[in-house]
Amino acid sequence: MINVLKSMAITFAMYSKLPVRSFEWKKENMKYCLLFLPVVGIVEGIFLVLFSIFLSKLKVNSFLVAAILTALPILYTGGIHMDGFLDTMDALGSNQTREKKLSILKDSNSGAFAIIGGLVYILLYFAGMLSVNNFTKIYMLAISYMLIRAYSALSLTVFKNARGKGLAFEFANKSLIYINRIVLLLFICFGSVAMIAVNVNYGLLCSIAAFLVFLFYRVKSFEEFGGITGDLAGYFLQLAELVIVLVLALAP
């Protein structure tokens, strides 16, 4: 039980800005880290709903609400997934060899493609949030934070690692792979069912969209990089969140 709690603390310390104690990255402390990534998403979803209710009660201007809810996921995570998205945009935009693209992923400097990709992302997300104007859609987005993180964590336990080292490899290598896979699949099923239970049409659209982005992420990662990395998992997570927002914005 102690190791489970330590795994949860490590996951929240790594993937959120919540003030939790972190523990040494020993194998026994990291067995269950990946299966707690969707739980990080559950807490984020709760914050989204609470902020939405609070801002609605105050009758805050819709543009300001959209701006706050656009910033919320980045502030909550500390930008760790956005960092992966921006690094991936630089690598994909370079049109270099696979080895060079992998080295660009590790480069801490931001290139032109990262800046352009980040600006386009924020613009589209903000515009989408302006149209996510009812609480049914907010609930869908909140659930999607859990669903997408379950997919992202699952990819680390199923897909080949492009480098055979790094942060993502460390988490996967020290986890109980089969237990994590089963629990993460249950999270995916639960998230999809929860969405459909809230609203059948929105739920089906969002569940299918998340799965299609997951397939795109798998194909693109192997085609361009020969596997996945932690940055690519972050790229998937951010891309899937944007797609879900746009799907909800376009849905009647």
CB 213 within 8 A of CB 239: yes
**The pLDDT value given to residue 160:** 86
Helical H runs in 18-111? 37-57, 62-77, 80-94, 98-106
Residues 6+ apart with CB under 8 A from 99: none
With H, G, I as helix, E, B as strand and everything else as coil, classify residue 58.
coil
Regions in the chain scoring below 50 on pLDDT:
none
Dist. CA 4–CA 70, nearest whole Å: 32
**The pLDDT value given to residue 166:** 52
CA distance to 48, 149, 216, 248, per residue, from 162 (Å): 34, 20, 16, 33
Residues 6+ apart with CB under 8 A from 28: 3
**The pLDDT value given to residue 168:** 54
